[in-house]
Structure 1
Amino acid sequence: MKGFCALYDNETELLESHIFPKFVINYTKKTGSKYLRKFSEPNIRMQDGIKLHLLSLKAEQEFSLREKWFAENIFVPYLGRKFQLDYNENLYYFAVSFLWRVLILELKTDQDLKSKWYYETILEAEKEWKEYLKTGVLPQKHNQFCLFFTDRVNVNNSKLKGVDFYFTRILDATIADNEPQTCLLLYGKFSKFVFWAVLKKYGGEENLNDVEINPKGGKFNIPQKLEYFPLISLISNRIKTVDEMILPSEEQQKKIEQEILKDPQAFWKSDLGKSLFNDNYNL
């Protein structure tokens, strides 16, 4: 498909670009069902993640380099139970490229964004991030990116359901604000990795040292300390939203059951099975 590359602005052949990295989609399918379902459209089975005709081959190659680095140096080691993770500038680039794609998706699919109080702010952030991804010039204003590592939930003192499933399995992304217009975050998560960028400061951002990504590199020590109210509130609301979504139709539920019954022992040993068991029996 011919069009203009969202990163380089040149007219070229556009590839179908994944919003969530391809290796994340593959891992999610490998450790659960071979099909994916949007929790907003549970009756639609998908074999791949969300894609848009968005980027040129050159842009895809730039992003793929950082995705490969993240998979090899952060994703696989952490899921393999490594809790001290050194990183370099590639992690900052990966975080920006992931959340930039989330922002582009929101701009292309949410027709109400132009009426939002923060519309000009997200356009400003998109422009800054795009410049960084093209040239390496660090964002000057919207430059605080964070990564929080989640894990299997051992204790659930809240009234929320599906907490383990959300923290360890769900792919999710959104723009988050509040009614007083005192906070604005861009949020994206997959597997046990929660990313966000601060676009309008609520207060307490100076205490995000354990989760903030240094553009020049650093080290994460896990578990991390996180007492940032906007993010905690956002996650609680997202878990509740997922729990309140409509269930798949009876026909689709039968298909899910048939898939499990092909090898129930393997299903309950999978990451998805462990998560569902934990939520429904342990917690």
Structure 2
Amino acid sequence: MVAKRCALCGQTKELELSHIVPKFVIRYLKKTSLGAIRNKENLNKVVQDGEKHYLLCGDCEDLFSIYETKFANKFFYPYMKDDVKEFNYDSDLYYFLTSVSWRSLYLDILDFVEHSEKVGIDLQIINCLIEKERGMREYLLKKQPNVKGIENHILFFEDIKNMSTELVSTRPHTTFHRSITSYTFFNKELKTYATLTNMMGIILFTLYNKGEKERWENTEITNGVGLIKAANQVIESICADELVLILKDAEQDATKISEKQQEAINKKVKDRPEEFIKSKVFEDLKKDFDLKKGDTDK
């Protein structure tokens, strides 16, 4: 532990290593993988855990963990293990989603400010993100009942049967269902700023500024009671383009795996064929192999 200022409550306390994507997601990814998980920055390096930072004190970690446990038991595991597609929710879900995006936003603002010229961000966007981060923090500390000017959306990456020809080779099921990530992005021209978090196909978008011509259907989670279904979801937004970028980056990353590491992966499959055939990895690979080429709205 390190004694520093907690990013949430602002008190100087012993900080804990906080996961950006919640730990239960990482555990499930490891549990359902045939082999080890790999570092996004160096695919030839095996990692035992997800991204962590000295961010929160123990009290704030404990506060967030309450909502993480609720999300894991009511949404994540039923969706992953039991194929549940319809969920009633209350304000606890909104709190959890806000807490996840806030972690990335807080760290990304620090990075944007330090490398503003490199990332091409301007003062107006930074000020918007800082304002939204402050509002989210006040809400998470329960000093305010809501957060002004943000929207939380969940997109379930469901099975698809066909895809545009240029994207078939990106292995979309494997890419989204077998990975985790969280980061903030912005589009200056369309004026959309958001944080994207992929939790093995449960994809969270928190919008801080939304472009004028965007269309979101059956995705928004309000700060109250509601119903969310893994069906009939529509996103017409630069955020959807971000998903395409993830697919293309994953395809490019696959070429960076060394021959030695590829041989090790192949050996695990060869040595444990029955386990591989029963695995979630094989299931997603088969769906990708069966994809048909052609135009699609998904």
TM-score (normalizing by structure 2): 0.87
CA contact under 8 A between 1:146 and 1:211: conserved in structure 2?
Answer: yes
Write the distance in 1 (CA, Å) between the matches of 2:284 and 2:32: 11
Q: CA deviation at 1:150?
A: 1.4
Q: Which SS does the other structure have where 1:41 is aligned?
A: coil
In structure 1, the residue matched to 2:234 is: 226
In structure 1, the residue matched to 2:85 is: 83
Match of 2:285 among 266, 272, 276: 276
Q: Which SS does the other structure have where 2:235 is aligned?
A: coil
In structure 2, the residue matched to 1:99 is: 101
Letter in 2 for 1:234: E
Q: Which SS does the other structure have where 2:43 is aligned?
A: strand
Letter in 2 for 1:222: A
Q: 5+ residue gaps in structure 1? A: none
Letter in 2 for 1:125: K
CA contact under 8 A between 1:177 and 1:183: conserved in structure 2?
Answer: yes
How many residues end up aligned between the 2 structures? 282
- 1:3-152, aligned counterparts within 5 Å? 3-79=4-80, 80-109=82-111, 111-113=114-116, 116-117=121-122, 118-135=125-142, 137-152=144-159
Write the distance in 1 (CA, Å) between the matches of 2:55 and 2:219: 30
Shift of the 276–39 alpha-carbon distance from structure 1 to 2, 3 Å rule, reads farther
Q: CA deviation at 1:155?
A: 2.1
Letter in 2 for 1:4: R
Q: Which SS does the other structure have where 1:13 is aligned?
A: strand
Shift of the 133–158 alpha-carbon distance from structure 1 to 2, 3 Å rule, reads farther
Question: What per-residue deviation string (whole Å, max 9, x for no partner) do you get for residues 83-130 of structure 1?
Answer: 220011110011001011111332355542476122222111111111
Q: CA deviation at 1:281?
A: 5.0
Q: CA deviation at 1:165?
A: 1.4
Q: CA deviation at 1:262?
A: 3.2
Letter in 2 for 1:177: F
Q: Which SS does the other structure have where 2:44 is aligned?
A: strand
Identity of aligned residues (%): 26
Q: 5+ residue gaps in structure 2? A: 293-298
- 1:180-259, aligned counterparts within 5 Å? 180-204=189-213, 207-245=215-253, 246-259=255-268
Q: Which SS does the other structure have where 2:234 is aligned?
A: coil
Question: What per-residue deviation string (whole Å, max 9, x for no partner) do you get for residues 218-249 of structure 1?
Answer: 11123032132222222112211221224212
Q: CA deviation at 1:181?
A: 4.9
Match of 2:184 among 175, 179, 192: 175
TM-score (normalizing by structure 1): 0.91
Moved over 6 A (4+): none
CA RMSD in angstroms comes to 2.1
Write the distance in 1 (CA, Å) between the matches of 2:141 and 2:26: 26
Match of 2:171 among 144, 147, 162: 162
In structure 2, the residue matched to 1:266 is: 275
